[in-house]
Structure 1
Amino acid sequence: MFEKSYGNSVALSLAIFIAFFLIGWFVVAPNDEMAQPLIVAIQNEMGALSMSDDPMVLMIQIFLNNLTAALFLFLGGAVLGVVTGYVLLTNGFVIGLVMGYMTNLKGITLSLVSIVPHGIFELSAFFIASAMGFMLAESVYREYYGRGDAADTAKGLGMKFVTIVIPLLFLAAFVESFITPVLMNMVM
């Protein structure tokens, strides 16, 4: 039962993310009038995070920021997956928009190098966390109708979150802070 539910939840997560990634990349990014204000808003939001120039501090900041997003993806399932779906679609849209916009300005190579090295781990963690969120939503729904125990499901999923998602996020933050900048400098 777990494997089928997990597989369906991952498929749903991927479908939502990819759909909004494509909207960001192909619909909004090529349209400068729509893209420019959104890019400025994203830059302002990122600037508000006041990321450090020290790679070790930056790694911790990135890890904590991504951990917060992953927790929203997972725990958002408690409200029937509404928060999970929203966080997933906004992240897909923003990543698609930024990558599409960056590709238009700097080319596909720099765009890919800026996200793929750490994105492999980060996006995997987000998809797993969102799948867990949708599984939690299903469990809440089942419990409402007397066919399950959402607290027990949350406990089991929480253990998987700690042992799978958190290490992936830590690895992603390390790569994003120490490796991705080196690779970007190599292709610039």
Structure 2
Amino acid sequence: MKKVYLKEFEIYKKSYQKSFWWTFIFSIIILIVCFTLSFFMADFFIKQTEAIAESMANDIAEIRGKEISELSDIQTFLVIFWNNIKVGAITVLLGIIPLYRLPSFFMVLQFIVIGVVFGGLSAMGHSVLNAFVFSFLPHAIIELTAFVYSVAIGSFINRNILTKIFFRKKKDSEPIGKLLKQSLRSYIFVVIPLLFIAAFIEAFITSRLSETFL
């Protein structure tokens, strides 16, 4: 297993590193901008936060056919884990579409939502710091790392496909078979384990912290 992750680290440095950090830094900037805007557009951010919360509640209830309050911790964990696996997979697969940095923009949208939610909480008068520390940070730091890594994988696919289609530089791009094999390997050995850990923390730890401190 050690050899697997050493090899994956080499792949990361060669194929994913630039996209990973570009996406992460740009997304953080967008998040900060969205949060800052909440001080000038309070009503809008409150409405959007309420709409997002309602949508998330409906999605989870629809998946399980139950209200959120009726879900056990294990069911909540499975719902979160499965949903995040799908989001990560979609992010990677967007790389197949020959539009420049499409996976990155999909991830940026996730950070916009986060910025809007925390901006809305601030506009409502809630303690953003407490919400961030106790209901978001414990699982999100791992979850978002997994999603940004998914973006890096998708961007790797995207870059190679664009090179093949538009620049005709087949020598400078990876063969499709090798491309997909490497991407699947990275998703299985890096993204899925991170999402598993994040979902576990969110279901069993973050929920307890929220109940205790918020």
Fold match, TM over 0.5?
yes
For the pair 1:98 / 2:117, whether they are aligned, the reply is yes
**How far apart, in 1, do the equivalents of 2:107 and 2:83 lie?**
15
Task: Pick the aligned partner of 1:158 from 184, 187, 201.
Answer: 184
1:184 equivalenced with 2:199 (yes/no)? no
1:30 CA drift (Å): 5.3
Distance 1:12 1:76 in 2: 17
Matched letter for residue 53 of structure 1: L
Cα distance in 1 for partners of 2:154, 2:48 equals 28
> Is the contact between residue 76 and residue 84 of structure 1 (CA under 8 Å) also seen in structure 2?
yes
1:6 maps to what in 2?
16
Q: Does 1:46 align with 2:65?
A: no
Identity of paired residues, percent?
23
| Matched pairs, number | 188
Over the residues paired in the alignment, what is the CA RMSD in angstroms? 2.0
Residue matched to 2:7: none
**CA distance in 1 between partners of 2:21 and 2:198 (Å):** 22
CA deviation map 1:78-127 (0-9, x unaligned): 11355413321110001112123334532112332111110121011011
CA distance in 2, matches of 1:116, 1:46: 18
User: Does 2:90 align with 1:75?
Assistant: no
Query: Contact 1:28/1:35 (CA < 8 Å) preserved in 2?
Result: yes
Q: Distance in 2 between matches of 1:55 and 1:77?
A: 34
Greater Cα offset, 78-87 or 139-148 = 78-87
- For residues 124 and 173 of structure 1, what CA distance do their matches in structure 2 show? 13
Q: Which residue, out of 195, 200, 204, partners 1:169? A: 195
Q: Equivalents in 2 of 1:47, 1:29: separation in Å?
A: 26
Amino acid at match of 2:140: G
The verdict on how the C-alpha distance between 1:60 and 1:174 changes in structure 2, with shifts beyond 3 A counting, is same
TM-score, with normalisation over the residues of structure 1? 0.90
Q: Which amino acid aligns with 2:118?
A: M
| 1:141 counterpart residue number | 162
Contact 1:76/1:83, CA 8 A, preserved across alignment: yes
Question: Could you say what secondary structure the match of 1:36 adopts?
Answer: helix
Give 1:36's aligned amino acid.
I
Higher mean alpha-carbon deviation, 70-79 vs 82-91, is at 82-91
After the TM superposition, which segments of 4 or more aligned residues of structure 1 sit over 3 Å from their partners?
80-83
Paired with 2:194 and 2:179, the residues of 1 have a C-alpha distance of 22
C-alpha separation in 1, matches of 2:104 and 2:19: 11
Q: Following the alignment from structure 1 to structure 2, what is the Cα–Cα distance between the partners of residues 37 and 85?
A: 26
TM-score scaled by structure 2? Answer: 0.80
Once the 2 structures are TM-superposed, how far is the Cα of residue 16 of structure 1 from its aligned partner? 3.1
Residue 19 of structure 1 is matched in structure 2 by: 29
Higher Cα Rg, which structure = 2
Q: Following the alignment from structure 1 to structure 2, what is the Cα–Cα distance between the partners of residues 140 and 58?
A: 37
C-alpha separation in 2, matches of 1:29 and 1:185: 27
